Copies of this chain bind each other. A is one copy, B any other.
């Protein structure tokens, strides 16, 4: 059966809306630290993995240099990261956390964690939705380009 065309019945719209509500949620949660959601996930990766090149960082978060370069410049301006050319390969730019970022890690983790707990999702629900969404995402990624040819 063909999928519905009514806006309210479309999965893409649910995900689009959920993304926006999540963005708003994180905007609120990160307000005390003057961080956006995108900036936060970049910091998350650096907290997890240490210094990375723009390229590697981009692979982790799914963003290219067109998005990351200005974002990282803002993070640098606000004292969260440093950016410097790699000695081994001058094409690379190494992004590292500042002391401020390292020190704030636990505070931010704790605050964001408590906000997430307040959503009121059980662990089972949380994991259920997450795996469902990931299945959709994988299916979407695998749709071949030939699908879109118009006859």
Chain A residues within 8 Å of B, Cβ to Cβ: 1-3, 5-7, 9, 11-22, 24-26, 28-29, 31-32, 37, 41, 44-45, 48, 60-62, 109, 111-121, 123, 125-126, 128-130, 132-137, 139-141, 143, 145, 147-148, 150
Which chain B residue lies CB-closest to A107? B150
Nearest CB of chain B from residue A48's CB, rounded to whole Å: 7
Q: How far is the CA of A114 from the CA of B140 in the complex (A)?
A: 14
Give the residue of B26, B128, B147, B150 whose beta carbon is less than 8 angstroms from that of A118: B147
Give the residue of B29, B32, B129 whose beta carbon is less than 8 angstroms from that of A136: B129
Give the residue of B5, B48, B139 whose beta carbon is less than 8 angstroms from that of A7: B48
